[in-house]
Structure 1
Amino acid sequence: MERRQIAELLDAIHSSYPGKFVVQDPTSLLDSWERVLKKHDSEKVLKNFDRHLESSVFPPTIADLVKKRPLDRMDSIPSVNETLEYLRLIESKSEISEEAAHSIEECKAQIRKILGRS
């Protein structure tokens, strides 16, 4: 990104989040954001900014604007298929000790109980 684009971005953030994006020293802020953003594609950064506008009431950080894709909290929760695959993987390992196997079975029983499948 070019310095002018970064300045316009900061202005857009300031306008989009009134009272929440307070700038004490505009030159220093622009310098620090430029240090990081100059190596990033402006289209990607602006696209992330647009997504951020739609999903957050708080101003974005540099990290929000340069990440590869927007964070989806649902990505951190494994699906049923991922969980089943993980459990199959655990069961298929022959080097599991008797104690570990017992612990795994207890955990699986607790999961079944929580899911109402006991």
Structure 2
Amino acid sequence: MTDPERTPDGHYVVIDGRRWRATDPAIPEERRAELTRVLMAWRREVGRTKGTDEEGAARAGVQAAKVALGERGTPWWEQSDAEREERWSAGVPVPGAGGGTSGAG
């Protein structure tokens, strides 16, 4: 699989002609992979809970994972190195973990 096209500044990926904020490239590979797994689990949970009272919690999980990855919230290129590390190191809720989190939380 090839990497998606990026804008010249590297801040966005372009998929089907649409720009999406790129994942923070400074995130250590192991943590990036962990956050991506959590994000995908929350996306599956959104599908499973669609139209139920639990859907809101699943969407909040997607939001938390995307913020940790730098894809939402304050743009990673506007944050200091310390702010970036704090963002990706923060605990992110994990679906079905009974309130558990991924990472230092």
TM-score by length of 2: 0.27
- Give the number of the structure whose residues are more often helix, by fraction: 1
Task: Decide which structure has the larger Cα Rg and report it.
Answer: 1
Higher strand share: 2
TM-score (norm 1): 0.25
